[in-house]
A and B are shown apart, each in its own frame.
Chain A
Amino acid sequence: DVKVTQSSRYLVKRTGEKVFLECVQDMDHENMFWYRQDPGLGLRLIYFSYDVKMKEKGDIPEGYSVSREKKERFSLILESASTNQTSMYLCASSLPITRGAFFGQGTRLTVV
């Protein structure tokens, strides 16, 4: 089975901190995604990557950056955390999207 692992289930950070969310997949997938999930808003795409060192902005990239130095790892970076970035963050990976994406367990981030 495909496994997508997010490094933390729960995180609490202070306003202004630089925050790193890590995601690793073990199936050699070319595509990786970071979504943010908020009640009533569903999942919104922050960034995705279709190859090492390649990235594309999603719908809500402001305040975030990403890094993909190795195929299996995709990191989401909050440059200066703010309270409005308190949310559930979901990482996913896929082969061509026609096969569907596989999701990690999510990281619930609270910024205080």
Chain B
Amino acid sequence: AQSVTQPDIHITVSEGASLELRCNYSYGATPYLFWYVQSPGQGLQLLLKYFSGDTLVQGIKGFEAEFKRSQSSFNLRKPSVHWSDAAEYFCAVGGQTGANNLFFGTGTRLTVIP
């Protein structure tokens, strides 16, 4: 069965510092992988996605993620965090044959300190 693990519930970084949010997945086939961001009181916005090709994918707002099949990971990174990046981040997996839905991790809340 598919599942997504985000091991960090809450991360605090200083503005300007680099960021890495971890995501591990369990999936029976080639996964389709996504990162979403949710600002307080808002819906989810798609940051980036991977389903084939180059394992390093670029997204919006300066984010990138790297797919590592050997580690079953899809970690999100940003070289320099801005205060406006404070939000909750969700990793998701989907695309199993015969299904057409997404499975989400429990999220990582990011706090940015000045």
Q: Residues of A at under 8 Å CB distance from B?
A: 4, 31, 33, 35, 40-45, 48, 50, 56, 58, 90, 92, 94, 96-106
A-B contacts at CB below 8 angstroms, number: 59
B43 lies within 8 A of A90 (CB): yes
B100 lies within 8 A of A31 (CB): yes
7 A–B contact pairs at CB < 8 A? A35-B104, A48-B101, A58-B101, A98-B95, A99-B49, A100-B46, A101-B46
Interface flag for B75 (CB, 8 Å): no
How many chain B residues touch A (CB < 8 A): the figure is 23
Main secondary structure of the interface of A (DSSP, over half): strand
Known: A35-B104, A42-B104, A45-B103. 16 other contacts (CB 8 A): A31-B100, A31-B101, A41-B106, A42-B90, A43-B90, A45-B101, A50-B100, A90-B44, A96-B100, A97-B100, A97-B102, A98-B51, A98-B94, A103-B43, A106-B42, A106-B43
